[in-house]
């Protein structure tokens, strides 16, 4: 009966009920929408990290990541044999890597030269897809190089130009080689773009005197969730090599993903605070309007707990109506926007790219957070109802009836 009275009370002042429902819905909507943006961004960042940057797994000589000298290499044939035998591996790329200097007439800078097999690199990280102008690497053409548009811009380079790179060979001696720019590429990660240039592996191997050796094996898996399994299997076969997962290779991406929940929670709490003040105000008005009625209820035998429960359940009902409305709206919004995506380059320009993010965000509802958000919204409504309900308790039936 208390619930019946509470429920009927909702219909008394429809505009007031509507305001609370709308603000709860809006709270739910904005909390989850921001969540969806974050989550979409986070997932996109993870996909970029895995699909376009570090792959799922990388294998190195244990000393290579500390000082990237050409002598810290691995045997190519044994790697090839093991990686090809793993069914969970979609593709892999064996690379030679050398650090050195790139000198041009307009300046010189430190770079990393990646010697790759064009086909393997393409299937592992879609390098060809990044080529903006000119052509991708081709095994038929010797001494070609792919540089980023960003680097080309800085050093005033263009397709067809010849560049000279100075490197250390496997013996530690200085060597240099000339490459002709065949194409300009651009990935989502601007800082990495400036650092990395790509050549055909055999060209680089010849230059640094490496034969049948590789510095880096990048492995792309069929599915994300077999990562640890495959990683452990490789570790067993090559106990002396360093096998790292994408989380180790791109710790900032991992950190970003794990901090998403915290950000969402903080944001949600801010929204809920605002929401609570609205509810407190509105429910207080509702209680004051009904002073006489509450007085009668207390006079004829409705005890304080029941009065309290009535005011609180009224608010909770509003929250329980408003929250699914907000959920439905955010679902529709996200449905719609996840198709078109939100192009933030208009707002943020190249800032996103500078941090390694795609400039178009595809929001995605964080379903694992929906229940949590729902719970928080209802909890906030309950807490916000406590003060008005307490006010109602303090009424004395005589005063209420005398009015």
Partner 1 sequence: MNTVIDAHNISKVYNPDTIPVYAVNNVHLHIERGEFTAIVGPSGSGKTTLLNMLGGLDAPTEGYVEINGVNITKMPANKLIDFRLHNIGFVFQAFNLIPVLTARENVEFIMLLQKRPREERDHRVRELFAAVGLVDKLNVRPAQLSGGQQQRVAVARALASKPQFILADEPTANLDSHSAATLLDIMEKLNRDENMTFLFSTHDQRVIDRARRVITLVDGRIASDTAPTSTKIHA
* Residues in Cβ contact with 107 at an 8 Å cutoff, skipping those fewer than 6 apart: 154, 155
Task: Please state, in angstroms and rounded to a whole number, the distance separating the CA atoms of residues 84 and 70.
Answer: 25
Question: Which residues inside 137-196 make contact with partner 1, applying CB under 8 A?
Answer: none
Q: Any contact of residue 302 with partner 1 (CB under 8 A)? A: yes
| Residue pair 93/121 in contact by the 8 Å Cβ criterion | yes
Among 211, 303, 335, 345, binds partner 1 (CB under 8 A): 303
Strands 174-185 and 144-148: parallel
Question: Which residues inside 354-373 make contact with partner 1, applying CB under 8 A?
Answer: none
Question: Nearer Cβ to partner 1, position 239 or 403?
Answer: 403
**Smallest separation (angstroms) from partner 1 to the CB of 290:** 9
Q: Any contact of residue 306 with partner 1 (CB under 8 A)? A: yes
Q: Any contact of residue 301 with partner 1 (CB under 8 A)? A: yes
Question: Nearer Cβ to partner 1, position 298 or 323?
Answer: 298
Question: Nearer Cβ to partner 1, position 6 or 137?
Answer: 6
Pick the closest to residue 11 from 286, 278, 285 (CA basis): 286
Q: Any contact of residue 292 with partner 1 (CB under 8 A)? A: yes
Pick the closest to residue 93 from 130, 124, 48, 49 (CA basis): 124
**Smallest separation (angstroms) from partner 1 to the CB of 295:** 9
Q: At what angle do helices 367-393 and 304-340 cross, to 10 degrees?
A: 150
Task: Please state, in angstroms and rounded to a whole number, the distance separating the CA atoms of residues 242 and 234.
Answer: 10
Question: Nearer Cβ to partner 1, position 7 or 336?
Answer: 7
Pick the closest to residue 199 from 209, 187, 207, 190 (CA basis): 207
Helix (H) or strand (E) holding 187: none
Phi, psi of 168, deg, nearest 5: -100, 135
Among 178, 269, 299, 347, binds partner 1 (CB under 8 A): 299
Q: Any contact of residue 398 with partner 1 (CB under 8 A)? A: yes
SS3 of 179, please?
strand
Question: Nearer Cβ to partner 1, position 7 or 277?
Answer: 7
Question: Nearer Cβ to partner 1, position 29 or 308?
Answer: 308
Q: Any contact of residue 134 with partner 1 (CB under 8 A)? A: no
Task: Please state, in angstroms and rounded to a whole number, the distance separating the CA atoms of residues 107 and 103.
Answer: 6
Q: Which range, of 81-89, 293-301, 339-347, 372-380, touches partner 1 by CB under 8 A?
A: 293-301
Task: Look up residue 344 and give its DSSP letter.
Answer: T
**Smallest separation (angstroms) from partner 1 to the CB of 294:** 10
Q: Which range, of 114-122, 251-259, 301-309, 382-390, touches partner 1 by CB under 8 A?
A: 301-309
Question: Nearer Cβ to partner 1, position 4 or 371?
Answer: 4
Question: Nearer Cβ to partner 1, position 277 or 390?
Answer: 390
Q: Which range, of 146-154, 233-241, 242-250, 295-303, touches partner 1 by CB under 8 A?
A: 295-303
**Smallest separation (angstroms) from partner 1 to the CB of 224:** 55
Question: Nearer Cβ to partner 1, position 156 or 396?
Answer: 396
Question: Nearer Cβ to partner 1, position 42 or 295?
Answer: 295
Task: Please state, in angstroms and rounded to a whole number, the distance separating the CA atoms of residues 349 and 152.
Answer: 20
Among 3, 18, 277, 305, binds partner 1 (CB under 8 A): 305
How many chain residues interact with partner 1 (CB under 8 A)?
26
Burial string for 256-265 (b: 16+ CB within 10 Å, else e) reads bbeebbeebb
SS3 of 362, please?
coil
Q: Any contact of residue 346 with partner 1 (CB under 8 A)? A: no
| Residue pair 102/155 in contact by the 8 Å Cβ criterion | yes
Strands 89-104 and 107-116: antiparallel
Surface-to-core class of residue 218, CB atoms within 10 Å of its CB (0-12 exposed, 13-18 middle, 19+ buried): buried
Q: Which range, of 125-133, 227-235, 288-296, 352-360, touches partner 1 by CB under 8 A?
A: 288-296
HEC letters along 149-163: HHHHHHHCCCCCCEE
Question: Which residues inside 2-61 make contact with partner 1, applying CB under 8 A?
Answer: 4-5, 8-9, 11-12
Question: Which residues inside 205-234 make contact with partner 1, applying CB under 8 A?
Answer: none
Length of the chain: 403
Which residues contribute to the site for partner 1 (CB under 8 A)?
A: 1, 4-5, 8-9, 11-12, 292-293, 296-306, 396-398, 401-403
């Amino acid at each position: 009966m208390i619930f019946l009275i509470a429920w009927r009370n909702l219909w008394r002042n429809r505009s007031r009920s509507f305001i609370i429902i709308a603000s709860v819905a809006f709270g739910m909507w904005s909390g989850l929408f921001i969540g969806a943006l974050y989550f979409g961004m986070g997932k996109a960042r993870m996909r970029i990290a895995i699909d376009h940057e570090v792959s799922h797994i990388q294998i190195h000589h244990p000393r290579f990541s500390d000082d990237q000298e050409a002598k810290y290499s691995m045997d190519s044939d044994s790697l090839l044999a093991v990686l090809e035998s793993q069914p969970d591996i979609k593709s892999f790329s064996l690379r030679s890597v050398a650090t050195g200097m790139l000198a041009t007439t307009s300046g010189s800078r430190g770079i990393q030269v990646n010697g790759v097999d064009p086909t393997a690199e393409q299937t592992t990280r879609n390098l060809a897809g990044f080529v903006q102008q000119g052509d991708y690497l081709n095994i038929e053409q010797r001494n070609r190089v792919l540089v980023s548009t960003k680097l080309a811009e800085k050093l005033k380079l263009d397709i067809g130009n010849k560049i000279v790179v100075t490197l250390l060979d496997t013996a530690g001696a200085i060597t240099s080689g000339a490459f002709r720019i065949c194409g300009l590429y651009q990935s989502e990660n601007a800082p990495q773009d400036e650092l990395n240039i790509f050549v055909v592996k055999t060209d680089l191997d010849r230059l640094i005197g490496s034969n049948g050796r590789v510095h880096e094996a990048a492995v792309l898996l069929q599915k994300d969730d077999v990562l640890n399994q495959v990683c452990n299997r490789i570790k067993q076969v090559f106990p002396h090599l360093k096998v790292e997962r994408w989380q180790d290779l791109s710790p900032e991406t991992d950190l970003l993903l794990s901090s998403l929940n915290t950000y969402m929670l903080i944001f949600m709490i801010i929204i809920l605070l605002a929401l609570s003040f609205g509810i407190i105000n509105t429910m207080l008005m509702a209680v004051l309007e009904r002073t006489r009625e509450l007085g009668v209820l207390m006079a004829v035998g409705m005890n304080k707990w029941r009065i309290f429960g009535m005011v609180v359940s009224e608010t909770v009902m509003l929250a329980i109506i408003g929250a699914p409305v907000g959920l439905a709206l955010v679902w529709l919004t996200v449905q719609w926007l996840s198709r078109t995506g939100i192009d933030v380059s208009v707002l943020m320009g190249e800032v996103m790219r500078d941090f390694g993010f795609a400039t178009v965000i595809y929001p995605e509802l964080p379903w694992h957070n929906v229940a949590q958000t729902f719970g928080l919204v209802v909890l906030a409504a309950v807490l916000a109802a406590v003060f008005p309900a307490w006010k109602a308790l303090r009424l004395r039936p005589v005063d209420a009836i005398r009015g």
